[in-house]
Amino acid sequence: MKTISPSLQEWKILYDLAVEFRKLECWKWMQDNDLFGVQHPDTGQVGYCSVMGNLGEHFALAVYPGSEGLESYMQVLVSETEEDALDAVLRQRCLAVSFENRKQLEREDLEVIDALSLQFKGRNNFPVFRSHRAGYVPWFLDKEHVSLLAVTLEQTMEVAAIVKGQEDFLKPPEGEMILMVRTPARDSAGLRWENRWHRPEPLPFPKEDTSRFDELHVRRLKNRSGARKAVWEVDMFYTPAPVKEEGPPYYPYTLAIMEHFQGIALGVEMASPSDYRETFRKKLLDVMEQMPQIPHRILVKRPEASAFVRALVTDLGIEVVHLRDLPALADFRRGMVGFMSSR
């Protein structure tokens, strides 16, 4: 789907709000876990907001759209290992404005700033706007993004002013899993904003994975003689080595298949985050056909890997077990990231 670029006037509104937000320095009295929401007056979607900068290092506002965006924020918080933290970062779903040094801006950023005749000086003063999507390098905003971020910046400053005078404004009632949300209301006088407690919507139920091996391959694999003893580890994750093709650069979505006891890599395949299912299906089938026996058990870590593998092997009688830690795959990922970092 073709995106629509913002007009110069829309950019001006967004930059003016960003400059005002930077001057406010509300991160001096707000923490990045002081979450609140802003409901867009046109779409009704709630963007969950995090103000960053309390440690004096990275100054930004991130807006996580809907329950899926909020979940991507929560996954960063609960990450227990370096691999989990990296994966959570690469799966972020948010819009962000951060304040950077000039050398961190891209040509496209500088062109908009020059067209608006804006001037910024000093460290952490240049506004940078980016859209974060799971599996993709942070990218430039389209028209819809600019509108959403402008509304959110304006309302964030309203929330920040309230929090400055009322420290517990964002603290929910005891035991309640709710967040304060700036909610628009229209009447004869126009648009006004109200503060309401809001319970985030549950995550949408994942679509059933319909990937399958065809009947011929299923019969061939099941008819192999001998006892099944092998245990495999299978995972799907983003690899932090951006690929530039058409459109925004992406982090390759990677399928890794490991032998559990010996830690041997049986197969690795990479694909685009938006078009990986058939590629991964073929790779898993190829590995099964190359091995003397199919495994009697496959260990998986991530829910999406579990759903994908279960759908494929359901007719083969292979047990799929969901575990928190997969040692062979953890070693493999550390080696892969280390190799790519040294290039």
CA distance 253 to 244: 14
Q: CA 71, CA 239: separation in Å to the nearest integer?
A: 21
| Greatest extent of the chain over all pairs of C-alpha atoms, in Å | 78
What CA–CA distance (Å, rounded) separates 44 from 194? 14
Domains of the chain as residue ranges with CATH = 8-198 (no CATH), 215-342 (3.30.420.10)
- Picking from 96, 190, 187, the residue whose alpha carbon sits closest to that of residue 148 is 96
DSSP, collapsed to helix, strand or coil, labels residue 53 as coil
**Closest to 230 (Cα-Cα) out of 261, 256, 268, 263:** 261
Q: CA torsion, points 71, 183, 7, 132, in degrees to nearest 10?
A: -10
Tokens of 334: 């550390």
Rounded Cα–Cα distance for residues 157 and 154 (Å): 6
CB-side neighbour CA atoms (13 Å) of 132: 22
Binning the chain into helix, strand and coil, the percentages to the nearest 5 are 40, 25, 40
The confidence score (pLDDT) of residue 335 equals 87
Sequence-distant (6+) residues with CB within 8 A of 177 are: 199, 200
How many Cα atoms are found within 13 Å in the side-chain-facing hemisphere of 281?
18
With a cut of 50, list the residues of the chain below it in pLDDT: none
* Amino acid identity, position 135: G
Q: Tokens 């190799």 map to which residue?
A: 339
Q: Please provide the average confidence, as pLDDT, over all residues in the chain.
A: 92
